[in-house]
Structure 1
Amino acid sequence: MKTAHSTHSSGTIHRRGFIGAAGATAALAAGGPAAAAAGAPYRQPPLPYSENALEPVITSRTLSFHYGKHHRGYVNNVNELVKGTDWAGMPLDQLVVQTADNPEYAAVFNNAAQAWNHAFYWNSMRPGGGGEPPAELKKMMQDVFGGVKACCKKLADAAGSQFGSGWAWLAVDGHGTLNVLKTANADTPLARGMTPLLTIDVWEHAYYLDYQNRRGAYVAAVLDKLINWDFAMRNLERA
């Protein structure tokens, strides 16, 4: 698994102890804590909006394939891979962390991480998103990047410069530093002890039906019209 590449990291913000993205996004983990405790299979969380709610930025056709085929496939795959193992019923975020950076468990990691990343991605957007972040997050962006526009440019640069498939993230590390980073394929900040705040999917299946090879146009539209700063703030508050 490739290492996540940080495009900017400075200006440490000291907060109460970081407990990782498990606390920030427990409700998003497929299956949820109760299902994990009971040993139930992971379940694909429902979309937080209708399939046409993100139009015209992301069409219902794209969302239908992306959520209904790709995301669902990862959830089904990880259920098959952990069936009958000690991992069965483990919270999804913990499974991601425990199987990271171990080639022997690459198939489990890739499918578990993709299931988790996608659930996180859906919540990183909302109809009528974009605009100004909440005050505390906005101040952090100002302190670290020089402002909201500069932070968005870092996110766009990370998304645009990711070679091949991957993700662009806004996250905080264990020292409380706000970071923009990109990860390849299924890789995720969870695997390196960071707390993700939001993400943009730059796998081609996320945008190709609507934008073809114009990844930059897709990313710009997500940042301008869909990005869910309130979700990022909730994750920051739980960190």
Structure 2
Amino acid sequence: MKLLLTSGGVTNDSIRAALTDMLGKDIEESDALFIPTAQWGQPACSPQSVWRSTTGRWPGLTDLGWKSVGVLELTALPSIPPERWVSWVRAADALLVDGGEAIFLAHWMRESGLAEFLPDLTDTVWVGVSAGSMVMTPRIGAEFVDWEPGGTDEALGVVDFSIFPHLDYPGWETNTLERARQWARSIPGPAYAIDEQTAIAVVDGAVTVVSEGHWEALNP
């Protein structure tokens, strides 16, 4: 699987070009599935926010001009025969994974069976936003655990680095670079702090930072 791990989605031409390169064809020729699951575990999210993301009112994922976009809700998959949903996932060129609560998302990726299915998706592009990116890391840090505070901060560990998203986001006083550096001290391994104009591309194990904004490598 190819990973495009973002803080705010496909927000500039550089990130869009990286996505197109990963797809191997234009976005307009590609089919996508949108996964909103992480929002249900985040207290700040709501049915209205899920609707806005799904319909592209929040830009950067579903509004990019895809050939088609479907919705894949992971909490529903355990009640659906795998022979139905596995074919949907195999047919998708990209999985668009929204933000919310990363540990909740990791839980439902395991419960649904999607997590163990990921190694089979060698040509699929995983486009993560915030928690949709953090879920692929080994640890997210206790600061980002909102589903079960005090519980585990361990995610899926598909990559070997962690992510501090929404760096310097307007109005978010806890998302400064200094806070990111403090956060990184509790993370055993490399990490990145990235803003809304930055993405981390992972293809065949090679990691590339794609940015028109601000980012910093932590714990190098």
TM-score normalised per structure 2: 0.30
Query: Which of the pair is proportionally richer in helix?
Result: 1
Would you tell me which structure has more strand in proportion to its own residues? 2
TM-score of the superposed pair, with normalisation by structure 1: 0.29
| Larger Rg over CA atoms | 1
Question: Comparing both chains, which one has the higher relative contact order based on Cα–Cα distances under 8 Å and sequence gaps of 6 or more?
Answer: 1
